[in-house]
Amino acid sequence: MASNKKYWKSEAELNPNDSIVETLRQNEFASEIPVDQFLGDKETLSATNTNRRDFLKYVGFSTAAASLAACEGPVIKSIPYVVQPDRIVPGVANYYATTIANGFDFASILVKTREGRPIKVENNTAAKVGGNANARVQASVLSLYDSTRLQGPMVNGEPIDWQAMDDAIKASLNALKVSGKQIVLLTQTYASPSTSRLVDEFTAQYGNVKHVTYDAISEDAALSAFEARYGERALPDYDFEKAEVIVSIGADFLSDWQGGGYDGGYSKGRIPKNGKMSRHVQFESNMSLTGANADKRVMVTPSQQMITLANLYAKLNGTSAGGELPENVQRAIDNVIVQIRSNPKGAVVVTGIDDVNAQAVVLAINEMLGSNAFDPKAPKYVRQGNDKAVNALIADMNSGNVGAMIMDGVNPMFSLPKAAEFAEGLKQVGLSVLFTTNYNETAEAVQYTAAANHYLESWGDLQIKKGHYSLAQPTIRQLFDTRQLQTSLLKWMGSDKSYYEFIKETWTTNVLNGSDWNQALQDGVFVPANEMMASMTESAIADPVVMAVRGDKEKQVESTNGEPEPVSAISIDSAVRSLANASIAGMELTLYPKVGMGDGQQASNPWLQEFPDPITRVSWDNYLTVSKTDAEKLGLINTHAANGGLDGSYAKLTVNGIILGNVPVVIQPGQAAGSMGLALGYGRKVGMKAEMQTGVNAYPLYQNFKSVQEVTVEKATGMHEFACIQLHQTLMGRGDIIKETNLEIFNTRDHSEWNIVPQVSLNHQEVPATTVDLWDSFDRSVGHHFNMSIDLNACTGCGACVIACHAENNVPVVGKLEVRKSRDMHWLRIDRYYSSEESFEDDDLKKEGFDGLWGEKGSLDGFRQLEHPANNPQVAFQPVMCQHCNHAPCETVCPVAATSHSRQGQNHMAYNRCVGTRYCANNCPYKVRRFNWFLYNNNDEFDFHMNNDLGKMVINPDVNVRSRGVMEKCSMCIQSTQKTILDAKRDGRVIKDGEFQTACSSACSNGAIVFGDVNDTESKVAALKESERMYHLLEHVGTKPNVFYHVQVRNTNEA
Amino acid sequence: MKKVLNRDQFPKVLGISVLVFLFSTLLLSAQEVGQTLVAVPTTEQATASTGGDVDKGKSLFNQNCAACHKLNDKATGPALAKIESRLADEGLDREWIYAWVKNSAGVIKSGDSYAAKLYAEYNNTAMTAFPTLSNGDIDNILAYTAAEPATPVVSAATIETIAAEPTSGISNNTILGALALVFALLVFMLFSVNKTLRRVMEANGVDLVKEHPKSVPIWRAFAKNQFLILVTAILLLLASGYFVYGWMMQVGVDQGYAPIQPIHYSHKVHAGANKIECKYCHSSARVSKHSGIPSLNVCMNCHKSINEYTGGPEGPSQEDLANGYTNEFYTNEIKKLYQAVGWDETNQKYTGESQPVEWVRIHNLPDFAYFNHSQHVSVAGIECQTCHGPVEEMEIMYQYSPLTMGWCINCHRETNIKVEGNEYYEKIHAELSKKYGVENLTAAQMGGLECGKCHY
């Protein structure tokens, strides 16, 4: 029986007069389909007599024409130079020594140029100080080719030419000279003798000029403490190679603490030699790179750090300072005291506490110990920022005292906590000029935006440390209509000198002392003969240039401040007392610079954005690091999404009334409960491509330039999608990946006990896995046989090699979404492992002790526990690239023989032969093969440097740019080994040890990665292969890799 | 890309054999004419001398002066034809010339007004002093500059000589011609024999019975036999497959590619006639992966003084003339160079307005193949011609080798590495040759076939 029920789809249908219902009854869609949009003008479309058949004809014809045309190659033009420069030979690289000094990173470097284009940054091994290029310096060459760079000067957002701008500025400056209003130079730290002299001359000409140095991330406390004690505004230098006991209280000296650059010396002291290595104890709250490398890491909150330091000082003097500390911290301090007492000269204490008292106490301790590693006589000048002067400047601006403001290398509207106040003040300044390479937050607020040179286009000089000078020379002509500040100052002073001539003048009169200018320029670094003598006899000679200049600056600061700075010595006793009384009631937030991003000035650099943080392994983001206990209290979670991505809760932070919403959260093992961490430098928006606008800006929380702030945290709604490339956190007791032992066992037992070779069963007998093989071995004793040695003791996980590899091998950037899907293209990754128990050793023991499935020792529960890192885990870093197995599993499964082995030990990958089956990647036990899921160049979906002509200038012409559907991996820099061989053949000589280098080995200033020919028995790598600490990754698989590692040894001697 | 296939040799051969036939008789007499022609100018020059030896003067001029001076044109220095009589108009005698040549700077310093004027006119560049030239030498040079230049007499007879010359002696072409003649004769004879026989047959009354048995036409028999059709079809498919494959394999192989270049640069003139060493211009081939297209300043090293093409003493060949390669044509190409490099010929100055030349690249190796010139040129000592063919004979440069991977590999398999005097190879060569049991290792045995050596 049929039903009479009437079905209705929506309430509207009940109303018979509803127009929509009526239309829907007539048509399928309520509104007309917008065919016009894709078929163009309707009239012309109906007017044409193209019918379906014609259309098919056209399609057919154009397909045929296209396929015919494809048979013919394009006409390629070759355009030679009209006048070829003498030094450029097409196809041959030139190297220039220069210097980076961008206010945050200071280093002497070599720049590799091809046909006049800088393409790679390398370490300047001739430099005794500052010759290490970190990840950011390695990546800085890409910032030169940033397509968002300013291409010319602007006035109020409109383009202007330099002449007009110069005239206007000169007129204003001259007017100010008459009116007597202040002219302010607000700049980055230069540490440049010539710039100091230039500013003096500028001051002399215009009068009433004030030079304020501003560091986005301030080291004012350390500078002030040093000044109070030694009379010079500088930073003490440390040589950790000479230190046997290193005690660090919150100092992340392996990354950017006090200007950084300490990792090279540190690593040298970490390699056990003659049974000895340094002992490193770290008291810290955030899990830092330095803490991860420490032998003993003690979790303390920032306020406890102060009490720890006070106690350390008091106990070294046999007194007591008071203050409450947990028992384990007390015990750790007591142990440290014993170790320091036994070898006071070999000990060094450093601290990152952002407090003048703390810094003063540390100086006192080191002086008291007579530490060999501590050098206050030849201090470093890489940070000069003065918080008081900046604050005074903002006050001056708001009171209308400032007539002109010239800024260079700074972005105060982004990085100043008081940006709003600064903006208000800027409105009262008659003339505001900003020198910047990129359009940024401050450029929006100023009148004149002067497009500045990149450092690779500029002249410059630097005194990184007293008596250690370096020169910067341009390696390419300005790409755009840009000019550096110094040249402009000279112009505005009416001088016809170029800045080059000015530098040369400074150097001939003040620095060179008769030495050859050209030689200094070629070396990039210069140490005066008397300085070398001085450093040997340890009697420092005051540097005339810098002393004079610095003195002037101080005077100005004082006069404008109105309140003279107390340069008198800080009383250590009262300092200790105030430290011991430190306490913060609530949660403590530590703001820190991330290894990949620093202070944020290279935020539009895709290499650095995609660089995974060494600790959290998260790229393209900054985040709040929270301890597990606090996370549970606040309800913050981290989850793993189905596609392999990491998700995290959002949190809302409130510091002193300032609210920062939607900060993603990462639960960080080793974060001291009661403390949190957040990286500065992210969250740039203005002038950046949409893809590059990542993270949140933490600078507004950087109140009063203090890196530790009291914070209240609330959970916010929603989950953040991270791009994290390593989700597994622990090794789960698999001790054969990272082999570890401690110094005592290493010194006393046979290596078969601590460097255990895995056993396999052969004919029902347990034999070492290295002796069993499915395959016949090739004879590799003839010619070169390349091996790479990676010392886990020397590797700090800094990541310079990752970026160097990127630059050398044209590794594409894939973007946040792809990284999240584990499609990152890094040929070289640095795995980070946490231990699940107190140490990796305990993990192994626990796993060995499993008995049955259930119960107390059951493996079901046991493995589940092993998945989670300990509260304060041990951390290990392991760089992994293609292991170039002699018996490579990838080679046997390739259906088209695209990957094959060479006699020289390299596993070759012929991209043009690859058909993209990805069998090789599946069969690789090390997971080092990377697949091109997309075309990453000339593709708008991946709008990074390979999508524009400018960015492509960084590409290494000797290495192929891979296409879609092709597998790629580390080639052991075959282009560079082949070049070395060819050079030797051409010269008709034998290759010396050390000539063979890969991008990673030459970037590693820590000496962790050593590359060479093991058939050369004299070579360093051959000796390293014979070391007792040598082991191969996953030896039991029998792949016989050509990359080997060295067992990590920790100095766990507690007393 | 336009391809020029290897030209068919047949018409050329035919043409030349006809030429042989026509001119072989004229050969002897023509040579005599040529000799007499050469003799004429010498007598003329000898008579034109003014107290110096013109021949000696010519060689001295070419050795010492020609780098900066020309007879009839301004170059780095002024034109020198009839210089003595022109100086005499200025009131300067031969003594002044002696002084000037031996030490021009001295004359300028002495405050001589004409010398100062000259110095200023030529961009304040003093002439190189020639203290080694004796007064006699200078007399000879002056005699040469004063002599009427010999105008090359180009008669039809000389052209014939040149055309005929390569065929002197019994060449293949002659033999071929003779054979063709014999063949034609044979055909004619066969034809006539057949005709005669028929005539005889008719005369004897023999009737040629033509019997056509009724049979199935062959195509129908073929169509009925299905097996045969199948086999034929398979064969046809295989054959077409073979040719299609062959055709596909030459896609992207541009052997013989000879594009038209913006400046008609003749390797035949430079590397062939003037014997300029390849690596003089392509200097980076010694040290770099690129052989490099020479920058225009390299061209100007010579072309600063060579501003016109004069060709050989015999003038352009008929073939050249047929292609339009006259002296004026080449001179025009030199002017194109001046235009590009921004050289002001009249003032002997660079104007600074340059226009880089956009050459069409001939040898296009794909990006995924790494090739290094210095490895082959400097280390292996391979002649450029091994891969690039007889460049010194190429009027228009073309791609001589296929540049395919098979071609590379083949050479690597066949070529021994050059170890002599190269310390790098000493140890490895000794060990490897012992291992392989050979005396000389090929590039392949050294590892020259490994994928990663060329693909990375």
By Cβ distance, the residue of A82, A89, A903 closest to B356 is A82
Mean pLDDT of A956-972: 94
Q: What is the pLDDT of residues A89-124, one digit of tens each?
A: 999 999 999 999 999 999 999 999 999 999 999 999
Which DSSP string corresponds to A548-574?
A: HHHHHHHHHHHHHHSS----SPPPHHH
Q: What is the pLDDT of residues A134-143, one digit of tens each?
A: 999 999 999 9
Q: Which residue has the higher pLDDT, A630 or B125?
A: A630
Q: Is A960 on the interface with B (CB under 8 A)?
A: yes
Highest mean pLDDT among A1-5, B1-5, B361-365: B361-365
Q: Exposure of A158 by Cβ count < 10 A (0-12 exposed, 13-18 middle, 19+ buried)?
A: exposed
For residue A86 the two structure tokens come to 């003498």
Assign B345 a pLDDT band (cuts: 50, 70, 90).
Answer: confident
Q: What is the pLDDT of residues A976-1010, one digit of tens each?
A: 999 999 999 999 999 999 999 999 999 999 999 99
Residue A831's pLDDT is 94
Assign A607 a pLDDT band (cuts: 50, 70, 90).
Answer: very high
Q: How many CB atoms lie within 10 A of CB A975?
A: 20
Q: Is A175 on the interface with B (CB under 8 A)?
A: no
Mean pLDDT of A1033-1055: 90
Q: How far apart are CA A604 and CA A399, in angstroms?
A: 35
Q: What is the pLDDT of residues A405-427, one digit of tens each?
A: 999 999 999 999 989 999 999 99
Q: Is A81 on the interface with B (CB under 8 A)?
A: yes
Q: How far apart are CA A329 and CA A589, in angstroms?
A: 20
- With a cut of 60, say whether residue B37 has pLDDT above it: no
Q: How far is CA A18 from CA A29, A30, A33, A795, A888, in A?
A: 15, 12, 21, 74, 73
Q: Is A73 on the interface with B (CB under 8 A)?
A: yes
Classify A188 as helix, strand or coil.
Answer: coil
Q: Is A427 on the interface with B (CB under 8 A)?
A: no
Q: Report ipTM for this prediction.
A: 0.82
Q: Best residue in A81, A976, A987, A995 to probe B by mutation, most B CBs within 10 Å?
A: A81
Mean pLDDT of A907-919: 94
> Residue for token digits 């620093």?
A598
Mean pLDDT of B373-397: 93
Q: How far is CA A365 from CA A295, A319, B156, B250, in A?
A: 22, 14, 105, 79
pLDDT, averaged across chain B: 81
Which uninterrupted H or E stretch holds A640? Answer: strand A638-640
Assign A836 a pLDDT band (cuts: 50, 70, 90).
Answer: confident
DSSP state of B3: B
> Residue for token digits 């397509």?
A147
Residue A34's pLDDT is 63
By Cβ distance, the residue of B1, B251, B289 closest to A75 is B1
Residue A837's pLDDT is 84
Contact B428 A783 (CB under 8 A): yes
> Residue for token digits 């355009």?
A79
- With a cut of 70, say whether residue A706 has pLDDT above it: yes
Q: What is the pLDDT of residues A296-332, one digit of tens each?
A: 999 999 999 999 999 999 999 888 888 888 999 999 9
What percentage of chain B has pLDDT greater than the value 70?
Answer: 82
Q: What is the pLDDT of residues A184-241, one digit of tens each?
A: 999 999 999 999 999 999 999 998 899 999 999 999 999 999 999 999 999 999 999 9
Chain A positions touching B295 (Cβ under 8 A) are: 80-84
Residue B80's pLDDT is 81
pLDDT, averaged across chain A: 88
Residue A38's pLDDT is 55
Assign A579 a pLDDT band (cuts: 50, 70, 90).
Answer: confident
- With a cut of 70, say whether residue A8 has pLDDT above it: no
* Alpha helices by DSSP H, A644-760: 743-748, 751-754
Q: Exposure of A206 by Cβ count < 10 A (0-12 exposed, 13-18 middle, 19+ buried)?
A: middle
Q: How far apart are CA A664 and CA A623, in angstroms?
A: 5
**Rounded to 5 degrees, what angle do the CA atoms A367, A371, A377 make?**
65
Q: Best residue in A67, A78, A960 to probe B by mutation, most B CBs within 10 Å?
A: A78
Q: Are A682 and A605 in contact (CB under 8 A)?
A: no
Mean pLDDT of B13-27: 49
Q: How far is CA A779 from CA A485, A892, B254, in A?
A: 61, 19, 41
- With a cut of 80, say whether residue A617 has pLDDT above it: yes
How far off is chain B from A180, nearest CA to CA, in Å?
A: 48
* Alpha helices by DSSP H, B282-389: 296-303, 318-323, 327-341, 373-374, 384-388
- With a cut of 80, say whether residue A542 has pLDDT above it: no
In terms of C-beta distances under 8 Å and separation of at least 24 residues, what long-range contacts does B209-213 make, across chains too? Answer: none
Contact B358 A79 (CB under 8 A): yes
How far off is chain B from A994, nearest CA to CA, in Å?
A: 16
- With a cut of 50, say whether residue A566 has pLDDT above it: no
Residue A545's pLDDT is 39
For residue B70 the two structure tokens come to 């020309």
Q: Is A978 on the interface with B (CB under 8 A)?
A: yes
Residues in chain A, overall count: 1055
CB pairs under 8 A between A and B: 153
Q: How far apart are CA A194 and CA A196, in angstroms?
A: 5
- With a cut of 80, say whether residue A560 has pLDDT above it: no
Q: Are A906 and B452 in contact (CB under 8 A)?
A: yes
Q: Best residue in A114, A115, A782 to probe B by mutation, most B CBs within 10 Å?
A: A782
Contact B284 A978 (CB under 8 A): no
Mean pLDDT of B123-131: 79
What percentage of chain A has pLDDT greater than the value 90?
Answer: 70
- With a cut of 50, say whether residue A180 has pLDDT above it: yes
Q: Are A560 and A392 in contact (CB under 8 A)?
A: yes
Assign A601 a pLDDT band (cuts: 50, 70, 90).
Answer: very high
Residue A303 Rama label (left phi>0; alpha psi -120 to 50; beta)? alpha
- With a cut of 60, say whether residue A551 has pLDDT above it: no
Q: What is the pLDDT of residues A622-657, one digit of tens each?
A: 999 999 999 999 999 999 988 888 999 999 999 989
Residue A870's pLDDT is 85
List the single residue in A with minimal CA-CA distance to B377: A986
List the single residue in B with minimal CA-CA distance to A84: B295
Q: Compute φ and ψ for A359, nearest 5 degrees.
A: -65, -35
Q: Are A603 and A727 in contact (CB under 8 A)?
A: no
Assign A242 a pLDDT band (cuts: 50, 70, 90).
Answer: very high
Q: What is the pLDDT of residues A865-874, one digit of tens each?
A: 888 888 889 9
Residue A556's pLDDT is 41
**Rounded to 5 degrees, what angle do the CA atoms A321, A325, A326 make?**
150
What percentage of chain A has pLDDT greater than the value 70?
Answer: 91
Residue A552's pLDDT is 41
Contact B284 A91 (CB under 8 A): yes
Residue A10's pLDDT is 66
